[in-house]
Chains A and B, each alone.
Chain A
Amino acid sequence: MLSKRVVACLDVKNGELSKGVQFVATEMLGDPVAKAKAYYEDGLDELVFYDITASSDQRNIMLDVVQNVAREIFIPFSVGGGIRTREDAAGLLMAGAEKISLNSAAVLRPELVKECAQAIGTQNTVLSMDVRAVVPNTACPSGYEVVINGGRKAMGMDAIAWARRGCELGAGEVVVNSIDADGMKQGYEIKLTRLVAEAIPVPVVASGGAGTPAHLHQVLTEGKADAALVASMVHYGDYRVLDIKQYLNRQGVKVRMNY
């Protein structure tokens, strides 16, 4: 039986690990490769690196990080942030990433999803979307709107419709980040996650809001997510990956326990 996945998200800025709250204000947390390796040894199922480097001239630092991660850890990892062309995507895969994650650039130019899926395969192309709750309206009937540029710009675009469209264009997995829940440690946006999971034929990764192992349990059952993303709760040492997986296992959620 397929296991539910615990995924750790590492925001990388100029080659260093950082963590923000509601997508702003970041503090630096050290070497992402060392952190990734510690999680890998602790039974983590997958990693996501988001390159939040501001300037494009720093981008080679990210390729170095990816190469170093690929030498040390042997679980799947994806990389997002700043991918604007199929060449960017192919370069990250060559450096050792398993998947690439598209966000703002895909909202601005949806064809990018198709181009990447054709170049590197649907299964390696992830659509990551930042979403916030709004009063349901004509443009966003679900009450969830897509935002870009790290949550700063609302697009007047319905999140559920965009998830569907992304899959039609070739996304093989969708990450749903709730801007409202991000960094608050009060739990995932269950309703949003479930709406997306029920609307699309590919796996859904829930993101934003994890503070306790019970939050993961909720989103992997009630929220119908295939995987749950954690950041703060493991980066600051509040919980170990092992604690989270043991909790899920005890609650009857199938997770990989032998590693």
Chain B
Amino acid sequence: MRPSVIIVDYEAGNLRSVQRACEAVGLSAEISADPEVVRHADRLIFPGVGTAETAMGTLARLGLDEALVSFFQSGRPLLGICLGLQVLLDHTEEGARDCLGIIPGQCKRFQFVESDYKVPQIGWNEISKASEHPLMAGVPEGAEFYFVHAYYAIPDQRAHVLAETTFGDKTFASVIGRDNVFATQFHLEKSGRFGLELLAAFGKWDGAVC
């Protein structure tokens, strides 16, 4: 049977957690590093932990960078998670790398003057919706999700910011998206009930914003 979701494997850790979370909401998910499989998936999850430098290097080596851009252009639903969100942008400060350029903008590292805020941000934090999106319909205002990250996204266009989160004195884009792309800085696969609800909604999404 054709899997409903393909999880992109680019040697960036913990893909099984994402796969198990898919199973828990009734989505059949296969892990693949094959650009052809990625290009022709019905829907795609692009997870990731580690550094953007390593990730971009591996994506290029495996031919997955072009496959991802081509998948985005197809209009089919694409979900980015954590590092999978960060490399969707044009550029990241981490290793000064150019990224996929699917969402205009860049990533920067948290910098705090006050040393009480420890980087990376590790733990649960709430999101505040910046705009209405069909995938977030079931997520109540103030729901918390699990974050592990030192860099955050700054989309060029305000319309691409779907939800925001405050860490220390910094309010950043914790969910971004455009067209058929939806991406979370937090690990929805480790975020309890609300994370699973987002994943289930993604499994039913046709990629349209309204």
A202 to B122, CA, bound (A): 9
Q: Are A203 and B50 in contact (CB under 8 A)?
A: no
- The residue from A40, A71, A98, A120 contacting B192, defined by CB atoms under 8 A apart: A40
* Contacting pair A45 B195 (CB below 8 A): no
Determine whether A70 belongs to the interface, using a CB cutoff of 8 Å to chain B. Answer: yes
Residue in contact with B189 in the complex, picked from A74, A94, A256, A258, CB distance below 8 Å: A74
Chain B residue nearest to A94 in the complex (CB): B16
* Residue contact B148 to A96, C-beta cutoff 8 Å: no
List residues 41-100 of chain A with CB under 8 A from any CB of chain B.
45, 70-71, 74-76, 93-96, 98
Contact B119 A75 (CB under 8 A): no
B187: chain A residues at CB < 8 Å are 76
Q: For A76, give its contact among B13, B121, B126, B190 (CB under 8 Å).
A: B190
B144 touches A256 (CB 8 A): yes
Tell me whether A123 is interfacial, beta carbon within 8 Å.
yes
Interface status of B14 (Cβ within 8 A of chain A): yes
Q: Tell me the bound Cα distance from A247 to B148 in angstroms.
A: 26
Within 8 A of A (CB), among B122-140: 122-126, 140
Instruction: State whether the Cβ of B32 lies closer than 8 Å to any Cβ in chain A.
Output: no
A5: Cβ under 8 A from any B Cβ: yes
Secondary structure dominating the interface of A: loop
Bound complex: CA A83 to CA B51 (Å) = 24
Interface magnitude class on chain A: 20 to 34
Other-chain contact of B167, A2, A45, A94 (Cβ < 8 Å):
A2
- B118 touching A226 by the CB < 8 A rule? yes
Residues of A within 8 A of B119 (CB): 201
**Interface: B205 (CB within 8 A):** no
B17: chain A residues within 8 A (beta carbon): 70, 96, 98
- Determine whether A137 belongs to the interface, using a CB cutoff of 8 Å to chain B: no
Closest chain-B Cβ to A91's Cβ sits at a distance in Å of 11
Contact between chains at B21 and A226 (CB < 8 Å)? no
Q: Measured between C-beta atoms, what is the minimum distance from B174 to chain A in Å?
A: 12
B204 within 8 A of A: no
Number of B positions contacting A (CB below 8 A): 41
Interface residue? A3 (CB, 8 A)? yes
- A259 touches B (CB below 8 Å): yes
Q: Is the interface of B mostly helix, strand, loop or mixed?
A: mixed
Query: Taking the complex as formed, is A20 at the interface, i.e. its CB lies under 8 A from any CB of chain B?
Result: no
Q: Indicate if the CB atoms of A173 and B122 lie closer than 8 Å.
A: yes
Q: Compute how far the CA of A98 lies from the CA of B147 in the bound complex, rounded to whole angstroms.
A: 12
Whether, in the assembled complex, B20 has its beta carbon less than 8 Å from a beta carbon of chain A, the answer is yes
Check if A45 sits within 8 Å of B191, measured CB to CB: no
| Residue pair A123, B148 in contact (C-beta under 8 Å) | yes
Task: List the A residue with the shortest CB-CB distance to B25.
Answer: A74
Q: With A and B bound together, what is the CA distance between A202 and B115 in angstroms?
A: 11
Indicate with 1 or 0, residue by residue over B1-44, a CB within 8 angstroms of chain A CB atoms: 00000000000011011001101100000000000000000000
Judge whether B166 is part of the interface by a CB distance below 8 angstroms.
yes
B143 interfacial by beta-carbon distance below 8 Å: yes
B196 interfacial by beta-carbon distance below 8 Å: yes
Q: Is B193's beta carbon under 8 Å from chain A?
A: yes
Is A75 a contact partner of B49 (Cβ separation < 8 A)?
Answer: no
Q: How far is the CB of A164 from chain B (nearest CB, A)?
A: 14
Of B13, B24, B168, most buried by chain A (CB within 10 Å of CB) is B13
Which of A74, A93, A94, A98 has the most chain B CB atoms inside 10 A of its CB?
Answer: A74
In the complex, whether B120 has a CB less than 8 A from a CB of chain A is yes
Interface residues, chain B, with chain A CB atoms under 8 Å away = 13-14, 16-17, 20-21, 23-24, 49-51, 115, 118-126, 140, 142-144, 146-149, 166-168, 187, 189-196
Q: A1-B125, A2-B167, A121-B51 are in contact. List 12 more A-B contacts (CB 8 A).
A: A1-B166, A2-B147, A3-B144, A75-B190, A76-B187, A76-B190, A93-B13, A172-B120, A226-B122, A226-B123, A258-B142, A259-B192
A-B contacts, 8 of them at CB < 8 A, read A2-B125, A75-B146, A75-B191, A75-B192, A76-B146, A123-B148, A173-B122, A201-B119
| A→B interface (CB under 8 Å) | 1-5, 40, 45, 70-71, 74-76, 93-96, 98, 120-124, 172-173, 201-203, 226-227, 256, 258-259
